[in-house]
Every structure is written in structure tokens, then in C-alpha cells.
Structure 1
Amino acid sequence: MPAARMTSLLLCLGALLAGCSGTTPEAMLDNYSERVARVLEEPIEAGLGATADIPLFPPRRERLLALTDLRQGPIEVLALRHCDLLGLIAQRNSSLGKVMRPSGQLVYELRLLHQVRDCLSRLSQDPDADPQLKLQLAEIEQIKTRELPAVLWNAVYASSEMEANFSRGDPALPLRGKDDETADSDEAALRSLQALANIQTLTSTPDWALPADLDGLEQHYQVLNANRFGSQWLKSLWLLTGTLEHTAQALERREQRGSICPQQRPTPRARILLNVFRLYYAGEVQPYLARVHRSGERWKALHEQLLSQLPATPGMREYQWQVFATANPDSLWQRYSQARDRHTRSWQATLRNCQLMPGS
């Protein structure tokens, strides 16, 4: 190639490397795929501006489990005062108690069951204890123990806070700046979901004790509602999947119609492409992908724990299959994993053919 023509090509393609990648995930991902497309001379239409193809979270009626309604009559309630249960039950039956938030309902059920068990233990050591009271408490303890997993299920997955974390309307996780608080926000949401998973783990063991931070449970719900990490993570996963998949397709199409290194040696265009890879994939996309993947694996694992250990409704089982299931090749998580792996293989094939792979 004549020196003048080579210089012209380098100046033309090198200009593609100038400019800002944008301040949103969409802008950053669009910038990356557009630069790859221009160097390859292959169109890339990732469709990041379209409505996100994310499964719809089931309506509340398909997430709510029915529970036994224990109505204590005057005589029975009067007897329960001997176990210090009257105040707790009165609180639940009050006008405010009837509209308790999910966190409040869960706290009430945990305290009631724990107190009933404690009372039964004390009565079993009292030879003068009222047999009728013991029988009544044993029945309550049996029902509450049996239904505790359903109570916890409703407190988690029938709550508006969890519904918000599976919304399709929130933006993607923001790009992380040097001095912003996105890392703290992600971690706070994960800790709050972990707190709910910890209650499931605790109450699945015999003779469990009340969680030490039970009074702070409402704060975890507030964090989940304020951060909406889950909803943002779903959008990020969808954006990454589209970008990686369409970029991989462009790399493959270019190799099929004619390699940018026809003699399997580095060319000026191949070096420009390598710079795009280093500056915009390795430098920008990959750190964002790593963050989404790392935090998403923790989020996914906690939900899988809850969904496998609690009595999930059929609607939520189907939703889990569509979003999280690794056995389902069409789940949101598996489509992302497949796109990520295909993107890696496509880059490796292109760079290897140009003798630009590390170590080649």
C-alpha cells in the first residue's frame, strides 16, 4: 500500500477513536458498538432505544399465598393474657394492625410464634397449668409453624418494595464515577435482600431465636424501595445482552465476507480495531459488565435461595424460569451469558486471525 494512502486510512479511521462515550450506559454501549461497526464496515443495530424485552412480574394476586385467619374469642383471648400475648394480639387486631406493612406483619408473626413457644415451654413445667390453655396454644403453635414459610413468602414477594425491584420501567444501573455513591447503593440493596434471606435461613432451623435486628427490618424494605437495584439490574442485563450479541454478529459477518487481515498479518485497520477493543471495550464496557455480572450473581443467588426454600406460587415459578434459570436457554440470564461468551469468541477469532491476540 502506498505511504500516502496508508496515512490517509490511518487518519480517517483514527478519527473514530476521538470523542466522549457518554454519561449513560446506553450512550457508552452505543458508542462502543458504533466504533466497531465503522471499523468493520458492518452495521450494528443493537436496538437499545427499544422497549426492554424483560418478562413481566406477576400481579400481586398471583404472588400472594392464603393464610389461616385465627380469630380469638373473648374467653380464649382472656386466657392468653397469662402468657403476655393479649397485648400482641390486640395490636394486630387494631385498626392500624389490620393495615400493617409486610415488614410489620412479618415482625408480628415472628414475635407471636416465638412468644407462644416460650409460653408452652413454661406451661409444660407447671403442673397446675390450665390444660385448655395448653391445648389452645399448641394448636396456635402448630398452625403458625406450618404457615411461617408462607408468611415470609408474602412478606417478601407480595410486597410493593419487591414488586418495584422487578419493574420494567426503571433506568439501567448508572455508570460509576470516581466520587459517586453507586457502589454503596448497590451494596445497600444487596445487604437488605440478604437480611430477608437470613430470616429464611434462621427460621428453617428448630428452636430458632428472634433475629437481633428485627426492629430494623422496615429499614431494609425502605432501602429496597429507594434503590430499586433489581429493576435497574434487569435493564442493564438487557442492554448488555443486545450490545454483545449484535457486536459479535458483526465481527462474524466481517470474517465471513472477508477478513480485515486477509494475509493473517496485522493491517492498519486491524490495529485501529484493536485500539477500539482496548479503549472502549476493555476500558469502558468490560468494567461495567463486570459490575453488573458480579452484583447480579449475588442478587440472583439470594432470590434463588428464597424461591427454592419458600412455597413459591406457580406464577413466580414461571417468572423465575424466564429470568433466572440457568437450565432455560431463553431466560434473561442465559441469553446474557450466551451473548457474553459469543462476544468473547468472536473477538478472539478476529484478533487471532490478525496475529493480535495477547502472546501471539
Structure 2
Amino acid sequence: MRSTFVFLSFFILSACDWRSNPIDSMFDTYIERIANVQDEPPMPLEPNQNIILPPKRELYTDVAPITLGLLDSYELRKCDLFNLIADKNSSLGKVQDPFRNFDYQVNVIEGLNLCLQSQDISSVLKAQLTPILMQKMEQLPIHFSNLVFTSEAMRAQLSGYNWVDEDIKVIPSTLKGALETLEMYAESLSSTSQNLSFSTLVSIQETLNKQTVLGRLNYSLVNATHKLKTTTSQLNANDQNIVCAKGRDKTRFNILRNVFQSYYVDKLQPYLANLDSQYLSIEPFLTFTETTHPIYTYPIRDNHANFRGAIQQHVGYWKTLFERCGAAPSR
């Protein structure tokens, strides 16, 4: 009975270790090896922090309804707006998701512009349509904000619960294209022009929903930053344990230099460089995550800046150590 219990306990512990992410294991091993050389206990690494958006109710902005009773006018059939409104008022149209709703709003604006330019529409009706067009234009950025932060596809894209895999070296081109499309929409909405030329956003919805890269990248930047800072603190707090003065035994320093080469240079540094490269490849298309919502900013740009700072501080310690000991970083 006792042997069975021991076996089960070993199995459970092994299963927990087996489920550990390789990136977590790299950071754990790195700080443990440093602590062993310093002959000090390792500082505990912070638990990983998930990237979770605020609840939908906090990010959703109500859009005041615009009464379109006059759109029952038969005249609107002459500029293809009547059927569009009718479809929206159907049972299916009333439950559109944010992507389809945004496409609808864009189509209404385009339809209103066509009506105002049409010679088949009376001046009386045009006078009624003009303020409606202005209202629709003013509301479009709100619809876009709701799409970015409350749609299921974008919330899946922006949330992160795990590291970027080591074997993923580049952002998929389809996702980069989708982010670029959102960025162009945001830029167009920030302009004062009424001549909007948009393709359908529904076409990129599936890509954003399934290729959930942005949240994982943000997760990786945040948690790598925390772990690097703790490891740097470990090095600085026990720096006096590494003796390399003339005539003193440099064994501990030489072992620590091997730890730097084997665990940071050979393993962690390539992964961190990959995260940095992935971020930079999509950085031009991320402004919409900062400027779209009236009060909320998706913090990936700040997280990347903190990530860069943590790397500089960490490498800075090693540079200072090697200068103090008059040695090169390599073995």
C-alpha cells in the first residue's frame, strides 16, 4: 500500500514538472544555477501574469440610436439604401456581432453619401439625410472601439495565457495583414474626411480569432521582464560573493561565466531576441490599440519598453562584472 502511495506521489510530481512550460524551465534553471555559484538561495520568480482585458461592460460604449423612420421613403430605393436598412431591421440584423455591425455602419454611410449625390433624390429628403450622415460619421469611431475591445475575435487576439512557442520565429503574414487593416481603419477614422473607402472587416474576423498571437506576445514580454528583473536582482544582491581580485581564486567567477554563456547567451538570449523581432515586425500596426478607446490603452507598447529596459539592465550587470574581473564574456 505504501509503495503504491509513493509511486502515485512520484507520478503526480512528475506530471506537474512535465506540464511546466520550457520557457519557465529555462528561467528557473538560469536563476538556480546563478544562486548555486553564489552559494545563496535563489530569489523566487513571480508567478506568470496573464493578459486579461477589462470586462466587456467596462469597455463597451453605448451608441445613441438614430431614428431612421424617414428611410421608409420610397425614394431611398433609388440609391440602394432602402434594402440595407430593411436587412438591419430584420431579426438577424438586430443581433449582428461587432464586425458585421461595423460593416453595416460603413455601408450606411456610403449609402447616405450616394443618396446625397444622386439627382434622383429630392432636396427635401437630402436636407433630412445630411444631419443623419453627420451623426453616423461621428458614431463610427465608437462602433470601431466596440469592435476592437468587445468583439469575441479581438478579445481572443488581445488576451494571453501562455508563452510564444520557441519554434515560432515570425508573425503569420495573414495576421500582420489583418492588424494592418485595423490600423488603416483607425487612421481613416481619425481624419475629418467623409470619403471613407473600407473593405469589409468581416473578412479578417476569422484570422484575428484563430491566430491569437498578439496576446501571447504581450504575455511573453511581461513575464520575461519580471523574471529578468528578479534574476538581475539576484546577481546584484550577491555580487560581493564573486571574487576576482588579483591573486584570489577565480573559480567561482569562471563557473558563473559559464552559466552566463550556457544558459543566457545560448538559450535565453535567442528567445528574447525573437520576441523583440516579432514585436518590431508588427509595431507599426499597433497604434489602434492605444488610440481607439476613450479611456483604455492596451499596454503592449509600454510592456515592450519595459522588456527592453530589463534586458539592458541584465546585460549591464554582466558587462560590469566582466570589466571588474578583466575577462571576456565567452568561456
After TM superposition, the score normalised by the length of structure 1 is 0.76
Partner of 2:5: none
Change (3 A) 1:290 1:46: farther
Identify the range of structure 1 (277-286 vs 258-267) with the bigger mean alpha-carbon deviation: 258-267
What are the superposed Cα offsets for residues 80-122 of structure 1, whole Å, 9 maximum, x if unpaired?
2121101111121111111112211111111211121122123
Q: Which residue in 2 is equivalent to 1:339? A: 310
1:173 to 1:146, Cα distance in 2 relative to 1, 3 A: same
Query: Within 2, Cα distance between the matches of 1:263 and 1:77?
Result: 94
Residues 241, 307 of structure 1: alpha-carbon distance in 2 compared, 3 angstrom cutoff: closer
Query: Of residues 99, 108, 113 in structure 1, which corresponds to 2:109?
Result: 113
Moved more, 55-64 or 258-267: 258-267
Look up the match of 1:240: 224
Residue type at the aligned position of 2:294? T
Question: CA shift at 1:63, angstroms?
Answer: 1.1
The correspondence of residues 1-360 of structure 1 with structure 2, limited to 5 A, is 24-47=22-45, 50-52=47-49, 56-73=52-69, 76-123=72-119, 129-167=121-159, 170-176=161-167, 182-183=168-169, 186-205=172-191, 206-211=193-198, 214-215=199-200, 217-255=201-239, 257-263=240-246, 267-297=250-280, 302-308=285-291, 310=292, 312-314=293-295, 316-317=296-297, 320=298, 323-324=299-300, 326=302, 332-333=303-304, 335-357=306-328
Q: What's the CA shift for 1:46?
A: 4.2
Aligned-residue CA RMSD in angstroms? 2.9
Aligned counterpart, 2:8? none
Q: Deviations over 1:156-210 (max 9, x none)?
A: 1221222223435x2111112xxxxx34555543432221111122344425352
Instruction: Judge conservation of contact 1:264–1:353 (CA < 8 Å) in 2.
Output: no
Give aligned-pair identity as a percent: 26
- Cα distance in 2 for partners of 1:105, 1:69 equals 13
**Is the Cα contact below 8 Å between 1:186 and 1:295 reproduced in 2?**
no
The letter for the 2-side match of 1:356 is A
The question of whether the paired residues in 2 share the 8 Å contact of 1:83 and 1:119 is answered with yes
What is the distance in 2 between the residues matched to 1:28 and 1:339? 17
Question: RCO (CA 8 Å, sep 6+): is it higher in 1 or 2?
Answer: 1
Q: Which runs of 5+ in 1 are unaligned?
A: 1-21, 177-181, 327-331
For 1:183 and 1:343, locate their aligned partners in 2 and report how far apart those are by CA, in whole Å. 23
- CA distance in 1 between partners of 2:236 and 2:111 (Å): 65
Partner SS, residue 28 of structure 1:
helix
Q: Conserved in 2, the CA contact under 8 Å of 1:102 and 1:159?
A: yes
Q: Distance in 2 between matches of 1:262 and 1:219?
A: 65
Q: Give the counterpart letter for 1:276 in structure 2.
A: V
The runs of 5 or more residues in structure 2 that have no matched partner are: 1-19
2: CA distance between counterparts of 1:306 and 1:235?
16
1:45-87 per-residue CA deviation (whole Å, 9 max, x = no partner) reads: 3425x252x5752211121122231232266443321211011
Helix, strand or coil at the partner of 1:241: helix
Instruction: State the AA in 2 paired with 1:28.
Output: M
Query: Separation in 2 of the partners of 1:260 and 1:189?
Result: 50
The aligned counterpart of 2:17 is none
